[in-house]
Chains A and B, each alone.
Chain A
Amino acid sequence: MARIGVFVCWCGSNIAGTVDVKKVAEEVSKLPYVVYSTDYKYMCSDPGQNMIKEAIKEHRLTGVVVSACSPRMHEVTFRRTVQEEGVNPYMMEMANIREHCSWVHDDMEEATEKAIELVRMAVAKAVELEPMEKIEVPVTKRALVIGGGIAGIQAALDIADGGVEVILVEKSPSIGGKMSQLDETFPTLDCSQCILTPKMVDAAQHPNIKIYSYAELEELDGFIGNFQARIRQKARSVDMELCNGCGDCWNKCPQKKIPSEFEAGMSDRAAIYVPFPQAIPNTPVIDRENCIYFQSGKCGVCAKICPTGAISYDQSDEFITEEVGAVVVATGYDLFNTDVIGEYGYGEIPDVISGLQFERLSSASGPTEGKIVRPSDGKKPEEVAFICCVGSRDDKYGRPYCSRICCMYTAKHAILLHHKSHGSQAYVFYIDVRAGGKGYEEFLRRATEEEGAIYMRGRVSRLYRDNGKVVVKGADTLSGAQIELHCDMVVLANGITASPGAEELARKLSISYDEYGFYSEAHPKLRPVETNTAGIYLAGCCQAPKDIPDSVSQASAAASKVLALFSGDFLTREPNIAEVNPFTCTGCFTCREVCPYDAIDEEEVTVHIDGKKVTRTIARVNLGKCQGCGICCAVCRSNAINLKGTKDLQIFRQIKAFTGSEKEKSDEPVGSKK
């Protein structure tokens, strides 16, 4: 029989100021099964916890009710306390008489009455509590990192340095991501490629990292510690073992008029190509849609010329299954598509370019070798306008959020213009300048005070061509003046959007995403790198717009989560999960339909009914996948599935205890299960 001890905390005057704790302890001592009750100033203090331990020993308590603060505060503390005295930790129940009572009521009599009721309900549940053991699931100590940009590379390197094997999957032909396209980086103006390419090489040469480039995740099955990732290796049409990266193929390829993705369309590439000279792997791919051989069956120049015979036209997509225990999603972002803003004429006016195109113009490895020139006539632009918040903080385009990087990269562009195109003048149109970051405000001041950029607060309403110039019409809202500037070039500071296919990937991973397609973290402050799906972590811009330092920090944070997960051979999980009663389950699988985690498996059982052996298919809860929501329990037609820690009977007892002695009640609750 249950022997319950009740411990009423004063929490100094936090509880005792409004609740008559002595009366609570006295009243609840009269409840059935309560063999001991007491009160103390601070139950969570060492002497308080020792009181609980002493009472467990002295009164042979089987269950403990701590009537104090919210269980969200100290449930773990008191579970540990009872466990230290040999009582199962899940035999402890808390009554929340602080947050839910003393702090929100001021009438002592009413608050005391409510506190007694809350404790009575907790005692009723405590009587029905059952010992539970944490669940142990084995862990596959390998990690999958999706996305080979700076966040993915950093996460992969950190995990690999921790001694864990990493599978790095990148959808494009090379790792490196958006950062590889940048010229110099704010606020230090160090060359992006100079700091990125060594990391790319480290990742490629790391004994613990296996890179699948030009590959995508097809499917993810399993659960934390035990995922199976099905990876589609897209056909490269080039044998990676044989290719030595000599470059004869792309030099001789007759189809050279394809806008280069890496150069943001500022120059062309061949149909067989490596995206950029430092690409990893340095093996070309054939872009089949633009390849003459694949489109017409004629040509075959690359195959004829290849000195190692590496060209393989008949390669097809391959599927590889990798077993992993954790996943880091680092799929990055895309730039806001400025085509949709008709009044800016992007795509129509050649001298209106995107921020990324400016990066390529300014980059020493870019199409102009770092010479900043107008795309229309190759002349030096004397006056350049930069427009901030293009597709950011703009409800009109469904992007009310701040993209966080554009203010700073625009300041950087203004500085780069000043450095590389002497005598050119930068005009920056902004809404607000956001320079919240280490060294950012100083960098902004440098742009305006030392590098001569002129900042004007106001949105640009229209861009149009006039006499070889681009006319910028807008307003300076600080002076109230209408502005019409005749510029040689206009750079749009495109905002960040979620990467294309982000939602489709989210569904494969069963993680949630917000209305803009950014992945949701488990808690906006306290669990910023975890998702609500255990074992899947986030890094970089796939979660929200962020700059390089923040992406790298988050990637390292995700890596540390993965390494912590892999620190033991087994994972321990809270035991509050659903369980099926095999005797009453009818195998209707309504539970499977509602389960958000695909945690209901099938199980064959043989039972004896009226002396006959009957084999039936019933539901079984997958211990790894179940997250303990209990949705299945509420829909089960035969009440055969129940949630440990929140069983129907435990709730019914609380309901019954709730009105206590005030009204007459039936003995057994309606529809009592168990």
Chain B
Amino acid sequence: MADAETTAKTKKKADRTGFEPHIIGFLCNWCTYAGADLAGTSRIGYPTNIKAVRVPCSGRVDAMYVINALKNGADGVLVSGCHPGDCHYNQGNYYARRRFMILREIFSAMGINPERLQMSWCSAAEGAKWAQIVAQVTEKIRELGPFEGI
């Protein structure tokens, strides 16, 4: 790559100041992970803050994963699966939805902002939606600031 270009890109990063959140995303293999792949194939850009962990189903995501992520330095967690009714495993996303609604309640009770745990539904055909989700979630967590524990 030409030097001028590299400098331009590096500068962009250097210009940015302030807090950049660390977000971990648990993406189901069948819908959201594939949707994120599609965002890539379609070259739809989004912030670099979210790093994905591929799981077979959003229903696979143990509440402990979320807690662990926050404990290990994540500022926010995103769980994303197939749209309700479209789960590859029929009902895994319903379990996930219920589980994380409860976890968010527990977070509130513990004094953790429940918004640190985000959920979304994104199908394999929704590359643009994935990019949007990443941008929105990143912005949300950025507003909340670094997670300092409880």
CB distance from B4 to the nearest CB of A (A): 13
Q: Are B73 and A634 in contact (CB under 8 A)?
A: no
Is B37 interfacial (CB-CB < 8 Å)?
Answer: yes
CB distance from B125 to the nearest CB of A (A): 9
Q: With A98-B40, A109-B10, A655-B24 in contact, is A117–B51 under 8 Å at CB? A: yes
* Total count of chain A residues near the partner, CB < 8 A: 56
Is A284 interfacial (CB-CB < 8 Å)?
Answer: no
How distant is the Cα of A629 from the Cα of B88 in the complex, in angstroms? 9
Q: Are A671 and B67 in contact (CB under 8 A)?
A: yes
Q: With A99-B41, A107-B12 in contact, is A114–B55 under 8 Å at CB? A: no
Q: Are A100 and B60 in contact (CB under 8 A)?
A: no
How distant is the Cα of A117 from the Cα of B74 in the complex, in angstroms? 13
What per-residue 1/0 map shows which CB atoms of A392-418 lie under 8 Å from chain B? 000000000000000000000000000
How distant is the Cα of A628 from the Cα of B54 in the complex, in angstroms? 13
What per-residue 1/0 map shows which CB atoms of A642-674 lie under 8 Å from chain B? 010010100110111011001101100111000
| Residues 571-602 of A contacting B (Cβ, < 8 Å) | 576, 594, 596-597
- Among B91-99, B104-112, B113-121, B137-145, which stretch is in contact with chain A? B91-99
Closest to B1 in A: A17
Closest to B5 in A: A108
Q: With A117-B51, A658-B69 in contact, is A670–B41 under 8 Å at CB? A: no
| Residues 526-579 of A contacting B (Cβ, < 8 Å) | 532, 576
Q: Are B56 and A629 in contact (CB under 8 A)?
A: yes
Q: Are B13 and A109 in contact (CB under 8 A)?
A: yes
Q: Are A72 and B37 in contact (CB under 8 A)?
A: yes
CB distance from B92 to the nearest CB of A (A): 5
Q: Are A634 and B60 in contact (CB under 8 A)?
A: yes
CB distance from B5 to the nearest CB of A (A): 8
Q: Which residues of B contact A658 (CB under 8 A)?
A: 22, 24, 51, 53, 69, 72-74
Q: Which residues of A contact B59 (CB under 8 A)?
A: 594, 629-631, 634
How distant is the Cα of A330 from the Cα of B57 in the complex, in angstroms? 30
Is B61 interfacial (CB-CB < 8 Å)?
Answer: yes
What per-residue 1/0 map shows which CB atoms of A514-527 lie under 8 Å from chain B? 00000000000000
Is A118 interfacial (CB-CB < 8 Å)?
Answer: yes
How distant is the Cα of A563 from the Cα of B46 in the complex, in angstroms? 45
Q: Which residues of B contact A635 (CB under 8 A)?
A: 95
Q: With A98-B40, A658-B74 in contact, is A629–B89 under 8 Å at CB? A: yes
| Residues 35-64 of B contacting A (Cβ, < 8 Å) | 36-37, 39-41, 43-46, 48, 51-57, 59-64
Is B90 interfacial (CB-CB < 8 Å)?
Answer: yes
Is A121 interfacial (CB-CB < 8 Å)?
Answer: yes
B36 partner, pick from A99, A113, A596, A654, beta carbons under 8 A: A99
Q: Are A121 and B71 in contact (CB under 8 A)?
A: no
Q: With A634-B62, A658-B24, A663-B73 in contact, is A108–B6 under 8 Å at CB? A: yes
Closest to A631 in B: B59
Q: Are A108 and B1 in contact (CB under 8 A)?
A: yes
Q: Which residues of B contact A576 (CB under 8 A)?
A: 56
Q: Are B48 and A113 in contact (CB under 8 A)?
A: yes
CB distance from B134 to the nearest CB of A (A): 9
Q: Which residues of B contact A671 (CB under 8 A)?
A: 64, 67-68
| Residues 61-104 of A contacting B (Cβ, < 8 Å) | 70-73, 96, 98-101, 103-104
Q: Which residues of A contact B41 (CB under 8 A)?
A: 99, 103
* Total count of chain B residues near the partner, CB < 8 A: 50
Q: Are A631 and B48 in contact (CB under 8 A)?
A: no
- For A71, A108, A118, A652, the residue with the greatest tally of chain B CB atoms inside 10 Å of its CB is A108
Q: Which residues of B contact A100 (CB under 8 A)?
A: 36-37, 40, 52
Is A633 interfacial (CB-CB < 8 Å)?
Answer: yes
| Residues 34-79 of A contacting B (Cβ, < 8 Å) | 70-73
Q: Are B56 and A70 in contact (CB under 8 A)?
A: no
Q: Which residues of A contact B122 (CB under 8 A)?
A: none
CB distance from A581 to the nearest CB of B (A): 15
| Residues 622-646 of A contacting B (Cβ, < 8 Å) | 627-631, 633-635, 643, 646
How distant is the Cα of A121 from the Cα of B95 in the complex, in angstroms? 26
Q: Which residues of A contact B72 (CB under 8 A)?
A: 655-656, 658-659, 663, 665-666, 669
Is A348 interfacial (CB-CB < 8 Å)?
Answer: no
CB distance from A508 to the nearest CB of B (A): 15
Q: Which residues of B contact A665 (CB under 8 A)?
A: 72-73
Q: With A665-B72, A670-B71 in contact, is A631–B40 under 8 Å at CB? A: no
Q: Which residues of B contact A512 (CB under 8 A)?
A: 90
Q: Are B51 and A629 in contact (CB under 8 A)?
A: no
Q: Which residues of B contact A532 (CB under 8 A)?
A: 88-90
CB distance from B87 to the nearest CB of A (A): 8
Closest to B20 in A: A110
Is A105 interfacial (CB-CB < 8 Å)?
Answer: yes
13 interchain pairs (CB within 8 A)?
Answer: A100-B40, A108-B9, A594-B95, A631-B60, A634-B60, A634-B95, A646-B56, A654-B53, A658-B69, A659-B22, A666-B71, A666-B72, A671-B67
> A residues engaging B (CB < 8 A)?
17, 70-73, 96, 98-101, 103-111, 113-114, 117-118, 121, 510, 512, 532, 576, 594, 596-597, 627-631, 633-635, 643, 646, 648, 651-652, 654-656, 658-659, 662-663, 665-666, 669-671
Q: What would 14 more interface pairs be, CB under 8 Å, given A73-B37, A594-B95, A648-B64? A: A96-B52, A104-B39, A105-B45, A107-B13, A114-B48, A121-B53, A576-B56, A630-B57, A635-B95, A646-B55, A651-B62, A655-B24, A655-B65, A669-B71
> B residues engaging A (CB < 8 A)?
1, 6, 9-10, 12-13, 22, 24, 29, 33-34, 36-37, 39-41, 43-46, 48, 51-57, 59-65, 67-69, 71-74, 88-92, 95, 99, 131
Top-3 shortest CB links A-B: A99-B40, A630-B60, A659-B73
